[in-house]
Amino acid sequence: MSTHAPTPGEFILEVNNVSLSFKGVKAISALSFRVRRGEICALIGPNGAGKSSLLNVLNGVYRPDSGEVVFESEHFRRIHPLEAARRGVGRTFQNNALFKKMSVIDNVQTGLSRHMRSGFLEQAFGLPRARREARAFREQAESVLEFLELQAYRDVEVGSLAYGLQKRVELGRALIAGPGLLLLDEPMAGMNADEKREMSRFITDVNRDLGTTVVLIEHDMGVVMGLSGHVVVLDYGRKVGDGTPAEVQANPDVIAAYLGTVH
């Protein structure tokens, strides 16, 4: 539904009729859409529409039954989570997947693993290069914490943080690796209005300052409309709408399938 023909490299991500099912139950059926480099794309749709499953396909947690994912114009039948991370796909989870027993700053630093250069022995014996690297990592983490206004909690055990804050830490963990594509699964779930406003600000900043492409799942239509320039609507694993917020809102199928059922 994009209005004009794509120029090469214009799309960072393409999903070509991907299908996925659990024990015969279809979660996603023949789904296709494309994400422009540098845009914020929102996936919306009622619960069980297959949104989270889709994200899991995108960074390889699930293997699709058929179809392919094209990332940075490379075609993948199935991309392994590691591979995805190495290629710069960041990800947060619907119900936080943080490392609960570790401090905030440690959690954020784990995001840097794929940038680790110093070897085992260097780190074991604290050799210069390992030290330098550790310091660099720590500084990057510090700056991310500051960016997300988390310094106050830097040494707190993540498990003990409020839900909203945890979401923020998870964002930081994905962010620090400098992803080209960021997959956010309901980054504002269970937040009050202020927290939501803050979070959307962070996301737009990331998108603007770091030029990171963002694909996010969100229920709050208000937020979506304000945040994203591109909306894909799913219902029962099928795509029922794809376009600008305005287009989507005008789309009768969407109204029928989604807005109709929204509470």
Partner 1 sequence: MSASIHRLPAPFDHAPIEIVERRLPWGLLALLGVAFVLLPLLGGDYWLNAILIPFLVLSLAGLGLNLLTGYTGQTSVGSAGFMAVGAFATYGFLLREPGLPLPLALVAGGLFAAAVGFVVGIPSSRIKGFYLMVTTLAAQFFLEWVFVKFPWFYNHASSGTISAPRLEIFGHPLGSAEGRYLLTLGTVAVLTWVAVNLVRSQIGRNWMAIRDMDTAAAVIGIPVERYRRLAFAVSSFYLGIAGALWAFAYLGTASAGSFDINRSFQILFIIIIGGMGSIAGSFIGAAFISLLPILLSHGGQLVFGGSLDAGQVQNLQKVIFGVLIIVFLIREPEGLVRLLAKLRARLAVWPLRF
Partner 2 sequence: MTFFLETLLGGLLAGTMYSLVAIGFVLIYKASGVFNFAQGAMLLFAALTFVTLHEQGLPVVLALVLTLAIMVVVALIIERAVLRPLVARSQITLFMATLGLSFIIEGLAQGLMGAEVRALDLGIPDVPVFLGEVMISQFDLVAAATAAVLVTVLALLFNKTRIGISLRAVADDTRAALSIGIDLNRIWQIVWAVAGCVGLVAGLLWGARQGVQFSLSLVVLKALPVLIIGGFTSIGGAIVGGLIVGATENLAEVYLGPLIGGGITPWFAYFLALAFLYVRPAGLFGERAIERV
- Positions touching partner 2 (CB under 8 A) are 56, 61, 93, 97
Burial of 125 (0-12, 13-18, 19+ CB in 10 A): exposed
Which of 95, 143 has the CB closer to partner 2? Answer: 95
Residues 147, 149, 153: CA angle, nearest 5 degrees: 125
Contact between 216 and 203 under an 8 Å Cβ cutoff? The reply is: yes
State how far Cα 13 lies from the chain centre: 13
Of 63, 75, 78, 100, the residue at the interface with partner 1 (CB under 8 A) is 100
Partner whose binding site includes residue 101, from partner 2, partner 1, none (CB under 5 to 8 Å by kind): partner 1
Provide, rounded to whole angstroms, the least separation between the CB of residue 9 and partner 2.
Answer: 31
Tokens 């969407």 found at: 254
Contact between 215 and 247 under an 8 Å Cβ cutoff? The reply is: no
Of 15, 31, 43, 112, the residue at the interface with partner 1 (CB under 8 A) is 112
Provide, rounded to whole angstroms, the least separation between the CB of residue 99 and partner 1.
Answer: 4
Residue 34 DSSP class: E
Site for partner 1 in 32-91 (CB under 8 A): 59, 61, 81-82, 84-86, 88, 90-91
Please give the Cα distance from 168 to 136 (Å, whole number): 22
Partner whose binding site includes residue 124, from partner 1, partner 2, none (CB under 5 to 8 Å by kind): partner 1
Provide, rounded to whole angstroms, the least separation between the CB of residue 22 and partner 1.
Answer: 16
Tokens 């694993």 found at: 237
Provide, rounded to whole angstroms, the least separation between the CB of residue 197 and partner 2.
Answer: 29
Contact between 65 and 19 under an 8 Å Cβ cutoff? The reply is: yes
Contact between 20 and 64 under an 8 Å Cβ cutoff? The reply is: yes
Of 53, 140, 228, 251, the residue at the interface with partner 1 (CB under 8 A) is 140
By CB under 8 A, name the binding residues for partner 1. Answer: 59, 61, 81-82, 84-86, 88, 90-91, 93, 97-102, 106, 109-116, 118, 120, 123-126, 130, 133-134, 137-140, 142-147, 151, 154-155, 173-174, 176-180, 209-211
